[in-house]
Structure 1
Amino acid sequence: MLKKTRDPEKDPAAGTSKSKLLSVLGPGLITGAADDDPSGIATYSQAGAQFGFAITWTMLFSYPLMAAIQEISARIGRTTGHGIATNLRTYYPPWILPAIVALLFIANTINIGADLGAMGDAVGLLIGGKVALYVVLFAIFSACLQIFLQYTRYVSVLKWLTFSLFAYFGTVMVVKIPYAELARGLFIPTFSADTAFWTTVVAILGTTISPYLFFWQASQEVEDERESASRQPLVDAPEQSKGAIHRIRWDTYVGMGFSSLVALAIMVTTAATLHVAGKTDIQTSAEAAEALKPIAGQFAFTIFALGIIGTGLLAIPVLAGSAAYALGEARKWPIGLARKPKEAKAFYATIAAATLIGILVDFSPIDPIKALFWSAVINGIVSVPVMVMMMLMTARTDIMKKNTVKGPLCWIGWLATAVMAAAVIGMIVTSLL
């Protein structure tokens, strides 16, 4: 029996008290936090270490773009009652979806491997021991969390894991920051003809706007709607639209804002320490943590490393889950984390398989840095057609009924799509130079 609680879509006051805050912040908060996974931390650390405060403006630039496209993703799921893959399968040519799902699965499993490796390295730095063992244990724990934990409890665990990101606000507080220089870098965009600079800008955009986040947030809106006795897809219950869209907007803007602030905190920390000390060649998040130790001290090092572990525990289920949602919807399987394992065997098997392949990536002779680069390339390539399809979907009345996306949100969504297309072209060009 579902526990009767006030639905924040129908009762905005349900989210005004501290005890109800986490019930209001859901898919958007988790998606935003998962964006700052160990691989993302490596990207932001490299950016700050290499270019100092001059690169921080990218976080202000990317925030409205990522917030808009994630709100659009959420609105597709909440309005239609189906994830992005189901809508692609239903309304668009059949050859589009298999190609997107295949590339998404490949990129996600590589990313899982990179994140597991970073988490294992972080534990090794903190307490020593065998990194390989930690990698396997983290993978098993993450898979079991999704497969065996009740959905409502699982979502609560993910929400609480978002607090691990506060570790990076802690590192900012213990390093010396030249605030005038930070303000210039944040509010006055600086450009360079250096190929490395543009490659970094492309990497930041590719990290903040990723296809797996689109699929995850849309599918989580569907899960939440099915778990609530009072909610229906907006195409069937248009009277719920105002409250639902209001909740989605605040959930997404807060989640993406939190994500951007964490990314900025990582950039500022590494800019104020590693860049100043001339330590500019950072390849992984674990390397960033290790490099901080002699420069910023044991406390900053410990907090940074613990943050890697917490964000990894949050991101791996999202990466594996988004792949399972996309593949399951494409294959018309029973899907959903609210289902018991025996009710969605193929769906949960996909989660287990994605995690297992991630482990194999870590134990293979594949260079993890190169693998992560190609994962970013694939993500960039996949994001553009997915974003185009999403924008076209949200303009169709046969899909969205009265909830088509119009006005500023539509304009920013198309701008985000254009920026990502330019980023992909830039990534390809810079990789060939």
Structure 2
Amino acid sequence: MDSTTLPPRNGAVLDAAHVGDIRGALGTIKLGDAGHARGPMRRLKTLLAILGPGLIVMVGDNDAGAFSTYAQAGQNYGTTLLWTLALLIPVLYVNQEMVLRLGAVTGVGHARLILERFGRFWGAFSVVDLFLLNALTLVTEFIGIALGLDYLGIPRAPGVGIAAVLIMLAASTGDFRRFERFALSLVLGSLVLLPLFVMVHPPMGQLVRDFATVQMPRDGRLSDVMLLIIGIVGTTIAPWQLFFQQSYVIDKRITPRFIRYERLDLWLGIVLVVLGAVALIGLVAHCFAGKPEAGRFSDALAVARGLAQYHGHGAGTLFALALIDASVIGAAAVSLSTAYAVGDVLAVNHSLHRKPGEAKGFYLVYCGLIVLAAALVLLPGVPLGLLTNAVQTLAGVLLPSASVFLLLLCNDRQVLGPWVNGRWTNAFTSAVVAVLVILSTVLTAAVIFPDIGEDQIVAILVGGGLLALLIGLATLATRAHRAAALPRPRDDARPASPRQMEQWRMPPLHLLRPAQLTPTTRLWMGVLRLYLLLAVAMVVLRVLQLALA
């Protein structure tokens, strides 16, 4: 911890290491720096110091699971599913902007806020859910490393072991800046996809058309296509991202004054992640178009070999290197999101500014998950490709619950004060949750009725959309009636100036009034529990069906 670190006084910050200078990979901002001077160079230096959270969380999202899911979409269905990425861009921004705002304003991690505002059940559920899903996701990251090493001819056991040690050492120095430089070097390494894209040179006109045109593949069963779409959603907007970015923003010591810079950092990350995803789908689709392997995706290793066969050994090598790079940054981010969440809930030291001896529990969770995942990957007989795709689908069906709590927290004036969501953000996020639930309903129907036809699936989509619209209108009407009946509290008024907003921080947790949950909210939270049980059970059943087939 540097000498300028001060203990938290008037805020809810749980770890004293989260207060002090911002020591980013590309610059430093002193704690006492008023920062009111203007000018292009001053703003550029501030942006460079802030850059990191958005880039890391977004590029980390193009991890081993993403490589597998996007490659499957390209090999089995060409570029016909590129439009899903276009639709996910605003979802990515709105979700991650809400968590970065929560982090900068509250100084408290996502899991701890859920625990404090919604009770022990949902707090415990959020941590256990995150822990299990992240553990499975970590296995997929080391699967990606193992497959990349296999292609390069490097023995799997020592290669996976070296990668695990590297990931653990990068975060265990007690120097936040050193870890961020490591992570941003991996972000830079992700650009290896650009020369690979040039080597394969898929037709740009077709990529642009399919990116902008909603269509469904003509080949393949619709239930399988819907399963893959849910997987794309789950790998592009994974629950761990919410927990990671909120805690990483806090650990970097970013305050409300820097939210506009962090939003730009997020947009840069979104551009990189979408370009990478489009490149992956496009180059794999072009590589296998008209070839015997078309429609027969197995895993990322087979993709690398196919690229080598049709576009030269260099193409396969670049793909393997990009896969390893993506898997390493994904493993580091997923492990950190879990360690941050556990540290937040247990209120123990949890910061990259601390050395292992100062935050034993934090580093034990971080390193323990990595060791466990690496060991599982080395066991013989593990169905690597199936496990990877199953994790992305599971993330897709669990995302609605994470989005619901995110939405509730961002409308809690005790938590965010003047930074609460606006009307349009609430409407958009509610619509996203509704769409995710409808997609999960389609998945459930496809499991129960394997021979379900296109007409039935369309009926579910249309019927679910109309039902969601009616529920939304009823909710708006109820809120409008309640707002008209109750006087607005004086402390809900927005500050008169941006300067006051920059200085507003959430008070310590013990000073907050209990969360006011309406009967309607409690009803829907009960429905959410039922949805989670059914959706997870259907995913497990569907994966078992595919494994047996």
Taking structure 1 as the reference length, the TM-score comes to 0.90
What's 1:66 paired with?
92
CA spacing shift, 1:15–1:354, aligned 2, 3 Å:
farther
1:91-136 Cα distance to aligned partner (Å, 9 max, x none):
112101212211211221222122112212212312x232122112
What's 1:30 paired with?
56
172-181 or 348-357, which moves further after superposition?
A: 172-181
1:316-335 Cα distance to aligned partner (Å, 9 max, x none):
11011111111221222221
CA distance in 2, matches of 1:9, 1:389: 34
Contact 2:47 2:261 (C-alpha < 8 Å) held by counterparts: no
CA distance in 2, matches of 1:404, 1:396: 7
CA spacing shift, 1:381–1:181, aligned 2, 3 Å:
closer
- Please say if 1:106 is aligned against 2:132: yes
What's 2:263 paired with?
249
Q: 2:356 aligns with which of 341, 344, 350?
A: 341
Contact 2:335 2:370 (C-alpha < 8 Å) held by counterparts: yes
What's 1:206 paired with?
234
CA spacing shift, 1:78–1:12, aligned 2, 3 Å:
farther
Counterpart amino acid of 1:337?
L
Identity %: 21
Q: 2:273 aligns with which of 259, 273, 285?
A: 259
CA spacing shift, 1:296–1:318, aligned 2, 3 Å:
same
- Please say if 1:367 is aligned against 2:394: no
What's 1:153 paired with?
178
Contact 2:69 2:389 (C-alpha < 8 Å) held by counterparts: no
- Please say if 1:188 is aligned against 2:203: no
CA distance in 2, matches of 1:378, 1:328: 25
What's 1:163 paired with?
188
Q: 1:75 aligns with which of 74, 79, 101?
A: 101
CA spacing shift, 1:15–1:166, aligned 2, 3 Å:
farther
CA distance in 1, matches of 2:223, 2:238: 22
CA distance in 1, matches of 2:55, 2:430: 23
State the Cα RMSD in Å: 2.3
Contact 2:144 2:323 (C-alpha < 8 Å) held by counterparts: yes
CA distance in 1, matches of 2:427, 2:102: 17
1:80-99 correspondence to structure 2 within 5 Å = 80-99=106-125
CA distance in 2, matches of 1:172, 1:387: 34
CA spacing shift, 1:401–1:14, aligned 2, 3 Å:
farther
CA distance in 1, matches of 2:49, 2:298: 37
SS in 2 for 1:45: helix
What's 1:228 paired with?
none
1:325-364 Cα distance to aligned partner (Å, 9 max, x none):
1122122222111111111101100011111221232134
CA spacing shift, 1:355–1:429, aligned 2, 3 Å:
farther
Contact 2:200 2:283 (C-alpha < 8 Å) held by counterparts: yes
- Please say if 1:271 is aligned against 2:296: no
CA spacing shift, 1:370–1:303, aligned 2, 3 Å:
closer
Counterpart amino acid of 1:200?
L
SS in 2 for 1:162: helix
- Structure with greater contact order relative to length (CA < 8 Å, sep ≥ 6): 1
1:286-319 Cα distance to aligned partner (Å, 9 max, x none):
2221221111222221211111111122111101
Contact 2:65 2:389 (C-alpha < 8 Å) held by counterparts: no
SS in 2 for 1:337: coil
What's 2:408 paired with?
392
1:277 Cα deviation after fit: 2.2
Aligned length: 417
CA spacing shift, 1:82–1:168, aligned 2, 3 Å:
same
CA distance in 2, matches of 1:423, 1:322: 26
1:224-254 Cα distance to aligned partner (Å, 9 max, x none):
11xxxxx64x4xxxxx3xxx33112211121
Counterpart amino acid of 1:267?
I
SS in 2 for 1:245: helix
- Please say if 1:119 is aligned against 2:145: yes
CA spacing shift, 1:9–1:53, aligned 2, 3 Å:
farther
SS in 1 for 2:333: helix
1:134-153 correspondence to structure 2 within 5 Å = 134-148=159-173, 150-153=175-178
SS in 2 for 1:281: coil
CA distance in 2, matches of 1:21, 1:246: 9
Contact 2:104 2:249 (C-alpha < 8 Å) held by counterparts: yes
Counterpart amino acid of 1:255?
G
Contact 1:103 1:378 (C-alpha < 8 Å) held by counterparts: no
Q: Which has the larger radius of gyration?
A: 2
What's 1:427 paired with?
443
CA distance in 1, matches of 2:102, 2:199: 42
Q: 2:339 aligns with which of 324, 327, 338?
A: 324
CA distance in 2, matches of 1:91, 1:213: 21
Counterpart amino acid of 1:159?
L
CA distance in 1, matches of 2:317, 2:243: 33
CA distance in 1, matches of 2:90, 2:197: 24
SS in 1 for 2:200: coil
CA spacing shift, 1:428–1:168, aligned 2, 3 Å:
farther
CA distance in 2, matches of 1:428, 1:149: 46
368-377 or 292-301, which moves further after superposition?
A: 368-377
Greater share of helix residues, 1 or 2? Answer: 1
1:420 Cα deviation after fit: 2.5
1:159 Cα deviation after fit: 1.2
CA spacing shift, 1:356–1:15, aligned 2, 3 Å:
farther
1:256 Cα deviation after fit: 1.4
Please list every run of 5 or more consecutive structure 2 residues that lacks an aligned counterpart in the other structure.
4-20, 451-549
CA distance in 2, matches of 1:285, 1:89: 39
What's 1:292 paired with?
307
Counterpart amino acid of 2:433?
T
Contact 1:108 1:319 (C-alpha < 8 Å) held by counterparts: yes
What's 2:225 paired with?
197
1:281 Cα deviation after fit: 2.1
Please list every run of 5 or more consecutive structure 1 residues that lacks an aligned counterpart in the other structure.
226-230, 235-239
CA distance in 1, matches of 2:261, 2:46: 13
CA distance in 1, matches of 2:39, 2:442: 43
Counterpart amino acid of 2:348?
W
